[in-house]
Amino acid sequence: MLDVSIGTVFWSTIAFLAVAFILAKFAWKPILASIKEREDSIESSLKAAEQARKEMSQLQSDNEALLKEARLERDAMLKEARDMKDKIIAEAKEKADSKYDEIVKEAKGAIRNEKMAALTEIKNQVSELSLEIAEKLVRQKLESSEEQKKLIDQYISEAKLN
């Protein structure tokens, strides 16, 4: 155990070095390379995920900005539309008012004309009636004043019925 035997030294040197070289070439090199590769791929995947997350949040904020803009635009459009509506309504109202005024004015004119015509006719008839009444009065004047009065009333009522 504690004495060094040349045979054991000889065999252990050969065996150990042979195994070390074989393992270095066929085991450690591929194993360490694979582990490194896997670690690198995990790291790059994590980085990519982080990048994606960042991009996602960037996109989200972009979206939000876009949404905000859209909302603003919509508001503006709505406002414009409302204004337009108000304007159209106001315009229409104005037009209607003026048209109304015109129609009323026309109607008034027509009414006035009709009224004039009617009045003229009434005047004419009144004058005709007056002439008839006067004629009849003149005809009966002679008989009695009482009778005359009665007669005038009667004529007048007759005339009203006409």
100 is a contact residue toward another protein (CB under 8 A): no
Rounded to whole angstroms, the Cα distance separating 17 from 103 reads: 122
Choices 28-36, 85-93, 131-139, 149-157 (CB under 8 A): range interacting with another protein: 28-36
Least separation in angstroms between CB 52 and another protein: 20
Least separation in angstroms between CB 66 and another protein: 39
Taking residues 30 to 69 in sequence order and writing x for each that binds another protein by CB under 8 A, - otherwise, the string is: xxx-xx-xx--x----------------------------
Distances in whole angstroms, Cα of residue 111 to Cα of each of 27, 96, 99, 103, 105: 120, 21, 18, 12, 10
Angle at 70 between CA 64 and CA 73, to 5 degrees: 145
Rounded to whole angstroms, the Cα distance separating 115 from 108 reads: 10
Number of residues that bind another protein (CB under 8 A): 34
Which one, 29 or 123, has the nearer CB to another protein?
Answer: 29
Residues in contact with another protein by the rule CB under 8 A = 1-13, 15-20, 22-24, 26-32, 34-35, 37-38, 41
